[in-house]
Amino acid sequence: MATLLEQVQVDTELRPAVAGRNPWAFAARRLWRNRIAMAALLLFVVIVVMCLAAPLYANHVAHVNPFVPNLNGHTVVNGKVVPVMQQGGGILKLGETPIGPTWDPSHYFLGADSTGRDVAALLLYGGRSSLLIGIGSAVICSLLATVIALIAGFFGGVTDSIASRIMDVIWAFPVFLLAICIGTELLTHSSGFQLGPLHVDPTSLWLPTLIIAFIYIPYVYRPMRGQVLSVVNKEFVEAATAQGSGNLRLIFSEILPNVVSTVIVLMPLMIATTILTESALSFLGVGVQPPNVSWGTLIQDGTDLVYTRPWVTIAPGLMILLTVLSLNVLGDGVRDALDPRAKLRVEG
Amino acid sequence: MLTFIIRRLLWTVLVMFVITVVVFILFFKTPGVDPARALAGRSPNPQTLAEIRAQLGLGRPFPIEYGIMMKKIFITRDLVSYSNQGVRVVQEVFAATPATLSLVFGAAVLWVVMAIGVGIAAALLRGTIFDPLIMVVALVGVSAPVFWVGQIVNMVSQGTLHSTFLFSWVPPLGYTPFTQSPALWFKGLVLPWITLSILYIGFYGRVLRANLLEVQNEDYVRTARAKGISERRVLLRHTLRTSMITFVSLFGLDFAALVAGGALLTEVVFGIHGVGYLTWQGLENLDLPTIMATTIYGAFFIVLVNAIVDIGYAWLDPRIRPT
């Protein structure tokens, strides 16, 4: 080729400027290509759909009302009509034992529990509660923590000090004990609780959701605040200020889009954590209250039957395991997709 | 350094104070709940209620109520559980501590050793099929609810396979103090130790592996390799040390949280009468004095260990002191 100028002219003609692509699109494509994460997402979606379809299953497939004890009921096993509570079953052959798994989807698929209710239907209904509370509290927690982190990080100074100190104090509490304390106070006083004109029914699912959301706010707040602080002094924020942006616009149009990836990476992990916390609280009796069921309460119910009818205990725990596992794998995949540098570093 | 320590300890005292105030408000000032009735447990008679009101000075101004309760918990330590026939709760908490400490110490030893092994193995075997395999197993460990694993372990060891050689040595559920019978103490704690550590082995194994691999790209590692040091030696002598910093600080916090009552679930499932079990019993009976005492002492322990970990961290790494 001839002179440098001619070279540059040829290059710019042959290779026009490439239009910038949205980084979110890149991240989404990286995630899509991650087969394992996609499989985990599929598993999670399947579980959610199954649990949402609980009323469908209970009414149309199994024809039971899983909330009503069925001590004197009968069901069909291998074509024969048998009572749901059988005399002298189990290892010791004493007393009454509910029937075990029949592996027949329309008749007590996983057997019955100690009051004759269909375990499979209860499992799906329990999944509804657990997933609702898990996802709801994770979303509420992330929202609140992000807002507080944005305000604290943006305004800095006294606001930041106060917010961070309050978060430190909440976090200094053993998380689980705090949830137990609040749960005991609010949930086990059967007259519900009165806050001015607002009366909250103690069996409402809102109470566990809000309790769990509250105790994890500091956990999300810390990384969010770190991200906000690292963005707030950047030049583009200064440029936007110079252009006359008000504070609200600065926070939501300049800073928020740059910190939201932290929340997205944290979200599957938070949902996994909240599901585990909810199941533990329900197991202890300070989470979901009867007549509602959740996977945790089912495990507690199965404690008496653990030697004779183990599936009453195994099934809900297995569901929790699969749900949390899929969320963890998905979370790893999302983190790798949004921060490819981390992945490259790990590959070494 | 000294100013840092003093500031940190002052902050600790402040946090402890706030914790006691919060617990007090939570139990005594929840709107719509009468504290005397709540304290008295189930179906109280008016005599007990009046007695409680007199003893705790309920109805008097807030700071006086608070002061009386704090005195009962810390100074005179004669806070009494009304639903449990006047048992002194603070003494009960202290009596239950050895069981919890045995459980948590044993589990901690197990999980530290195993997590280091798992983390190193995964890092060494990076590139082969074993690395993702180990990580998946670790992930399953993190995803299983600990009380459910305990139930399954119980089911297998006490029920299904109890008569086989695998589990015939397992004693009935419960805790035997070391001074009473060391062999039984050990045998009764093996399965709880394993159950409790599964969760933490998974978590710490992954953390250690991530740290080890992250450190591989540091310059001093490159120097070590350039000097001709074998890969294994580089891993064990150079990268492991740095990675252990995060490991140790996380460990301190988790250990404190477990002793303070986080081992509640394991204790309940295996029938070990530790601090967590006490808390749970208090929950079952709505025995507020017990719950208050365990929560406050538990929270104090955690705050104290946090402070010690922070001070130790600042001593080890001078860069972080000014905070």
pLDDT of A348 > 50? The answer is: no
Nearest to A227 by CA among A142, A136, A158, A331: A142
pLDDT confidence of residue B168: 73
Residue A320, pLDDT above cutoff 80: yes
Q: Is the pLDDT of residue A324 over 90?
A: yes
pLDDT of residue B320: 62
Integer-rounded Cα radius of gyration of chain A: 27
Residues A232-260, mean pLDDT to the nearest whole number: 87
Q: Where are the alpha helices (DSSP H) in chain A?
A: 4-14, 23-33, 35-52, 54-56, 119-155, 157-172, 175-187, 206-232, 235-242, 247-249, 256-284, 295-301, 311-338, 340-347
Q: What is the pLDDT of residue A278?
A: 93
Nearest alpha-carbon partner for A50 in A140, A139, A124 = A124
C-alpha count within 13 angstroms, C-beta hemisphere, residue A260: 10
A181 touches B: beta carbon within 8 Å? yes
DSSP assignment of B239-263, as one string?
A: IHHHHHHHHHHHHHHHHHHIIIIIT
Nearest CA in chain B to A323: B143
Q: Å from A193 to nearest chain B CA? A: 6
The pLDDT of residue A133: 94
Specify the range with the lowest mean pLDDT, choosing from A114-118, A162-166, A195-199.
Answer: A195-199
Residue A68: its pLDDT value, please? 76
Smallest Cβ–Cβ distance between B23 and the set A181, A276, A345 belongs to A181
Q: Tell whether A184 is within 8 A of chain B (Cβ).
A: yes
**Tens digits of residue pLDDT in A139-191:** 999 999 999 999 998 888 888 888 988 888 788 777 777 888 777 777 655 55
Q: Which is higher by pLDDT, B44 or A333?
A: A333
According to the model, what pLDDT value does residue A116 have?
77
pLDDT at A45 over 90: yes
Answer whether B264 sits within 8 Å of A286, measured CB to CB.
Answer: no
For B39, the closest chain A residue by CA position comes to A185
ipTM higher than threshold 0.95: no
pLDDT, residue A296, reads 92
Under 8 Å between Cβ of A118 and A67: no
Q: How far apart are CA B11 and CA A118, in angstroms?
A: 54
- C-alpha span between A22 and A193 (Å, rounded): 49
Task: Tell me the mean pLDDT in the region A63-92.
Answer: 69
Which residues, given as ranges, of chain B have pLDDT below 70? 30-44, 77-86, 163, 165, 316-323
The alpha-carbon gap from B262 to the nearest alpha carbon of chain A, in Å, equals 7
**C-alpha to C-alpha distances, A274 to A15, A171, B97, B149, B150, nearest whole angstrom:** 51, 16, 28, 18, 20
pLDDT of residue A195: 58
Are residues A219 and A173 in contact, defined by beta-carbon separation less than 8 angstroms?
A: no
A37 touches chain B (CB under 8 A): no
Task: Give pLDDT, residue A143.
Answer: 94
Quick check: A212 and A133 in contact, CB under 8 A? Answer: yes
String of b and e for B85-111 (b: at least 16 CB within 10 Å)?
eeebbbebbeebbbbbebbbebbbebb
Chain pair A-B, CB pairs under 8 angstroms: 148
Nearest to A175 by CA among B213, B257, B280, B121: B257
Q: What is the pLDDT of residues A257-286, one digit of tens each?
A: 888 888 998 899 999 999 999 999 999 888
Confidence at A344, pLDDT banded by 50, 70, 90: very low
